[in-house]
Amino acid sequence: MIEILTSGVALGVHVPGLLLADRLRERGVPARVTVLERLLPEEKLATTRAMKAAFHRDFRAALVGQRVASNPGDAVSDSRVDSLFAEWAARGARRFVVFSGYWLSIVERYASSRDDVQVHVCHVDSTASPSFRGVSPPGSVWLADADQGTLPLTIPVSHEPPVPWSERSHALLLHGGGWGMGTYLSHASELLTAGFELDVVAHEESDAVLDDPGVRYHLIDPSWHPWIDDGYPPFGRLRHGSRTSFARGTGHHSSFDLMRVSMAAVSKPGGGTLLDSLWSATPLAFLEPFGAHEQRNSELWQRLGFGITLDAWRAQGCSSDVLASLHEALLGVARTVPDLSSILTSGES
């Protein structure tokens, strides 16, 4: 059994944890995902839900909130931690993969009383994200490394090959990560004028202007949060005059299916978005980053020839040929990167 520890603060942390669990199970290794927020009292969860809504609506507020964010793990009671440790001990838990630095004090406390515990810290971003602020944990592995300009490890999103460029629709995917943050909604009109159809991931029904020709809106179920269940986010197409039918992806998140058939994704440069780009061979056109770690993500993707800022792409006339060259650079790369699930199942650290 491998225990995978994530946080609902960002789907760019949580979804890679779900993906790793699926890839481990495919290899015959039991894996269990635990979201930190499941340990929190209801009043703390209510605050988190309110922050999610506020940060979606106001990116500047989100940037300020990130700088002053506290560790949600500090709100977990000693009795709840003791109960969790009892569950881990009963399952014989000794191998952990930590995707959020907010888990570190808890898992290190558990490990301190046992001499057979292995802790692997998995960084999805290319440099330390805010949850790892001020800590340098041993046993770290990286899916991207901005300092070295490399992709040391990866987690396969899908076993399907990338969709050939000639078979892709002349469409762009616009999204703002798991919390729908950033300025992506404001660029729809400009990109439509440039001749592209759009698939836009909304987080509230009020985000959608369903009369827009050439724009398809998709919605992550607003009532769902990562601490509710172990599945991928429920996802559905918004349509005029009908109730949205939500469904979950099998083996990966549903938004990846949209990215696979798009010519590019227009979004802030989150770590989970880099992973989707790699495995779909879909270029990224970057908007303003959510903090310094996402700025490093953007710089790395540009350095590798996998992405471009929206401003730079606009200066080149939003050319499809530019996207095609980025796609060519991405093709085949994912399967050359060592698979974290393979390393974990072979017992390497």
Which one, of 308, 230, 312, 232, lies nearest residue 264 by Cα?
A: 308
Cα(346)–Cα(12) distance, rounded to whole angstroms? 26
Enter the tokens of residue 175. Answer: 């999204």
Question: Same domain for 111 and 187?
Answer: no
Enter the tokens of residue 229. Answer: 């269940």
Q: What is the pLDDT of residue 136?
A: 62
Specify the CATH number for the domain of residue 193.
3.40.50.2000
* Type of residue numbered 214: G
Question: Same domain for 18 and 139?
Answer: yes
* Type of residue numbered 99: F
Which one, of 239, 317, 336, 333, lies nearest residue 282 by Cα?
A: 333
Question: Same domain for 150 and 298?
Answer: no
Cα(326)–Cα(265) distance, rounded to whole angstroms? 12
Q: What is the pLDDT of residue 264?
A: 98
Question: Same domain for 150 and 176?
Answer: no
Which one, of 103, 173, 143, lies nearest residue 272 by Cα?
A: 143
Enter the tokens of residue 171. Answer: 């469409």
Q: What is the pLDDT of residue 179?
A: 64
Name, in order, each residue with C-beta under 8 angstroms of 155's C-beta and a sequence gap of 6 or more.
16, 19, 20, 23, 143, 275, 339, 340, 341
Q: What is the pLDDT of residue 319?
A: 97
Token match 């779900």: residue?
18
Question: Same domain for 313 and 270?
Answer: yes
Pairing of strands 235-237, 215-220: antiparallel
Residue 125, CA distances (Å) to 40, 54, 154, 175 in order = 25, 24, 11, 18
CA dihedral 45, 48, 50, 52 (to 10 degrees): -140
Cα(331)–Cα(20) distance, rounded to whole angstroms? 22
Q: What is the pLDDT of residue 84?
A: 96
* Containing structural domain, residue 230: 165-336
Residue 109, CA distances (Å) to 184, 190, 210, 306, 340 in order = 41, 51, 51, 40, 25
Specify the CATH number for the domain of residue 138.
3.40.50
Cα(73)–Cα(222) distance, rounded to whole angstroms? 24
Question: Same domain for 53 and 140?
Answer: yes
Q: What is the pLDDT of residue 64?
A: 47
Question: Same domain for 257 and 321?
Answer: yes
Question: Same domain for 286 and 151?
Answer: no
Question: Same domain for 149 and 207?
Answer: no
CB 154 within 8 A of CB 339: yes
Question: Same domain for 201 and 288?
Answer: yes
| Domains of the chain: total | 2
**3-class state of residue 199 by DSSP:** strand
Residue 268, CA distances (Å) to 81, 285, 294, 309 in order = 35, 8, 8, 10
Residue 9, Cβ density class (10 Å: 0-12 exposed, 13-18 middle, ≥19 buried): buried
Question: Same domain for 264 and 145?
Answer: no
Q: CA angle at residue 17 from 96 to 149, to 5 degrees?
A: 95
- From first to last of the 349 residues of the chain, give the pLDDT tens digit: 999 999 988 788 899 999 999 999 999 999 999 999 999 888 877 777 766 665 555 555 555 455 545 677 778 999 999 999 999 999 999 999 999 999 999 999 999 988 899 999 999 999 999 888 767 677 799 999 999 999 999 999 999 999 999 999 999 999 987 666 567 888 999 999 999 999 999 877 877 776 778 999 999 998 888 888 889 999 999 987 788 999 999 999 999 999 999 999 999 999 999 999 999 999 999 998 878 899 999 999 999 999 999 999 999 999 999 999 999 999 999 999 999 999 999 853 3
Question: Same domain for 183 and 332?
Answer: yes
Q: What is the pLDDT of residue 302?
A: 98
